[in-house]
Amino acid sequence: MKIHPTAIVSPSARLAEDVEVGPYAIIAGDVTLGAGCVVQAYAVIEGRVTMGSGNFVGYGAVIGAAPQDFAHNAGISSEVRIGDNNRIREYVTIHRGTKEGSATTVGNGCFLMVGTHIGHNVTIADNVIITNNCLLAGYVDVGEAAVLGGGSVFHQFLRIGRRAMVAGSSSFNKDIPPFVTANFRNLLVGINVIGLRRGGVDAKTRMEIKRAFKLVYRSGLRVREALEEAGKSGWGPEANEFFEFIRSSKRGTCTSNRLADIDSTEAED
């Protein structure tokens, strides 16, 4: 192990042989760091934190600190679980779960940029990109390969669907369905065509997702009516995922205002 002499590492921490820990970093408590992890100067990892292999933790990041929840107390045992090959940049904060036995989780291959805040009990799937200064309140659920623009804020218990794209400086207190582009306040502006292409989604499937979007948000039907109409036809797995996400929403989903759209649903081959 390559541990700087000014770093403080708890005797109870379990570090792989090739872990690097920079100057004045603190690793306190029941912490496990897998092979190839790098912890830069002044970072703090405390409490029950488990990290897989190949993770990078930037200067001044804080992982495993107590949640910002009045209901939490020091006697509660909770944790942070982080997968493999994540980039956690400078001053990111990831708080542990707030209830007994609960966890805040980050998947594999995620990129959490400078100043991101991940609140208690947030769940982040694989290959998510969260840009500088995003704020995720407690229990937010982020789907695979979602991209969250800088300075955006997300209300507690909110869900963000797979391969959704959120513009910077936006705010949300409604669920964001999969495969869409969203911005401003709770506004959907179309389908995330670029993200779908990059993810290898073929043109036929992209067109079907577009049809599903238009049925729900452009047909003039109420959402409940549009979902009933969708049930009368056969759809592929991605369109059904889109409908089921909306159907299962407890907070309600964002809306689409045609007049305000930068209509990316039309930007298809």
- Output Rg (C-alpha) for the chain, integer angstroms: 20
Instruction: Report the side by side order of strands in the sheet with 135-136.
Output: 8-9, 26-28, 44-46, 62-65, 93-95, 117-118, 135-136, 153-154, 171-172
242-256 pLDDT, tens per residue? 999 999 999 999 999
| Mean predicted lDDT score pLDDT of the chain | 95
69-89 pLDDT, tens per residue? 999 999 999 999 999 999 999
CATH fold group of domain 196-266: Udp N-acetylglucosamine O-acyltransferase; Domain 2 (1.20.1180)
Average pLDDT per block of 10 residues along the chain, 269 residues long: 96 97 97 98 98 98 97 95 98 98 98 98 98 98 98 98 98 98 95 96 97 96 97 97 98 79 43
Would you say domain 2-157 falls under CATH 1.10.3730.10?
A: no
Q: Report how far residue 180's alpha carbon sits from residue 160's, in angstroms, rounded to the nearest whole number.
A: 10
pTM over 0.75: yes
pLDDT at residue 261, as a whole number: 45
| Domains 2-157 and 196-266 agree in fold | no
Q: Report how far residue 94's alpha carbon sits from residue 113's, in angstroms, rounded to the nearest whole number.
A: 12
Write down the domain spans for the chain: 2-157, 196-266
